[in-house]
Chains A and B, each alone.
Chain A
Amino acid sequence: MAIAKILGIETEYGVVGGPDFDPTTASSLIVNAYAQQGRTRISWDFNDESPGTDARGIVGNGALAPMIETHLANTVLTNGARLYVDHAHPEYSAPECATPQEATLWDQAGEEVMRRAQLVANESLAPEHAIALYKNNSDGKGNSYGTHENYLVDRAVDFAAVVRAMVPHFVSRQVVVGAGKVGSETPFAAAADPSYQLSARAEFFEEVVGLETTLKRPIINTRDEPHCDAERFRRLHVICGDANMSPVATMVKLGSTALLLAALEDDGLKDFPSPPARPVRAIRDFSFDPSLRTTVEDEDGRRRGAWDYQDELWSLADRYVSRHGGAAVAGVDEVRDILVAWREMLDGVRDDPESVADRVDWVAKRRIVEGYRERYGLGARDAKLRAIDLQYHDVRRDKSLALRVGLRATHDEETVRRAVAEAPTSTRAFFRGECVRRFPDSIVSANWDSLVFDVGHGPLQRIPMMDPTRGTQGLVGPLFRDNPTAGALVDALNG
């Protein structure tokens, strides 16, 4: 049986402005502005962080383990998320969610958190130092930052099988969930010199498998840091995705990937298509060709386009759901919605892109870029077109172009506002968020798999949360009801 596909997205936002125009200062101001609004003062606990551990069982190999920057602003929110400064960017790591639709909601809550933080921070800054945030993945000058997805995977599945099964999806899913990009910015794109790409992130990938996230980025990241019971679980850390503005695209990105992982756990590798012989070439070449005509050779010598890979993978997921029901990913209705949206977007990009401009980011963005270019007779690399690309991802409501192109919503504004304050009820994020909301003065620190309490007497007490599927409202709701103080709660948990 496939295990529950607990999942979530972490996003590094682009940042400009600030008192000294230094991105680290500006990022710290953003995080602190939000924290000082009284929502949280609880710091992050690095005790269980080990981002240098490699899923292939080897450490080192010339690769640099990522650095942990403990001196920077770092906090945990009542919705169970982590808000902090990472690599000179403010980052929102969404709480663990039980389904793709939930994870899409808490990703949008992250946009709202950034929007509010920006408003608060700018209240104390001169207009010329105002900070602006962008939910995107690069600056157009060769610098990239990530939107990473995380999926709970059964430890029993061999990591090599995960790689073989998922590489075809990771190189081809940009056809439906790419965010689009005007031009290119790395030496890898110089020969193709595309005026428009499917993906913002694809051209930055240099390896198939590896531990790095900032240099020589791999399509499959091997960081083996499950933030839960490592005997039972693996956390697949996907770093090759784009920051989507379309909520339906976010849902399909998460849903398609989760369904394929569940299919791998239940049925093994046999139905998965053969991976491209040269995956790095494939992810780039597919991105460089929005006409979708480019094909690549697989390991068995057969040629396919990105669209063909997605067609096969959709059929695989659809057959899997017919056989097993997809309960590891979501309820019956949500799984059906994911498959329908994925199929419609896939057929749409081939047959009638205009029909999916309300769901596919690269189509929505290209529509306004091309429209603007034609209206003013601009060259394909005009700065105005790059400005449109940047501003598509602007977090500010009065500046955002994504908010103006008619993207289909998955949740109404009231629901998003609630998700800014409240954690998902379906995972351990509920326990974390609820403790932070109820007992902010008694929690010394928090991280993904534990909370440390100071109940005012005796030693500090660490409460482990090693199973992400527990700590739900159903399981711990009564505990909160019966134990109104932090001391009573800790006693009951230790009892």
Chain B
Amino acid sequence: MTEQERIQKQRTERTRDDDVDVTVTAKKGEQLKGELDELLDEIDSVLEENAEEFVRNYVQKGGQ
């Protein structure tokens, strides 16, 4: 078995294990999505207003 196949096999096995807890995973997924939504709201409130200008004006001299 090649290294790639071995990793693929490990990945597949793990996926199968996870299927057992499919309900828990779904619930956890919803919770994570809720948390991310809140975080994105917060990012909206602190993100530099003119992103294009901010990114364009961020110019550095090279260092080490």
Q: Could you tell me which A residues sit within 8 Å of B by CB distance?
A: 12, 14-16, 23-24, 66, 86-89, 134, 138-141, 143-146, 148, 213-214, 239, 295, 302-305, 307-308, 350-351, 354, 367-368, 371-372, 375, 382-384, 386-388, 390-391, 398-399, 401, 404-406
Contact = CB atoms under 8 A, between A and B. Distances in A.
Interface of B: 3-4, 7, 11, 14, 32, 36, 39-40, 42-43, 46-48, 51-52, 54-64
Given A398-B46, A401-B46, A386 B64 contact: no
B60 A145 contact: yes
Contact of B32 (A214, A305, A354): A354
Given A351-B14, A383-B52, A368 B60 contact: no
Contacts of B48: 387, 391, 399
Contacts of A143: 59-62
A148 B54 CA distance: 27
Nearest to B61: A88
B61 A146 contact: no
Contact of A391 (B40, B47, B57): B47
B46 to A, nearest CB: 6
Contacts of A304: 3
Contacts of A307: 7
Given A139-B58, A351-B14, A398-B46, A239 B64 contact: yes
B64 A214 contact: yes
Given A146-B64, A404-B43, 4 more contacts: A213-B64, A295-B4, A350-B11, A390-B55
Given A308-B7, A383-B51, A391-B46, A145 B58 contact: no
A139 B59 contact: yes
Contact of B3 (A144, A308, A354, A387): A308
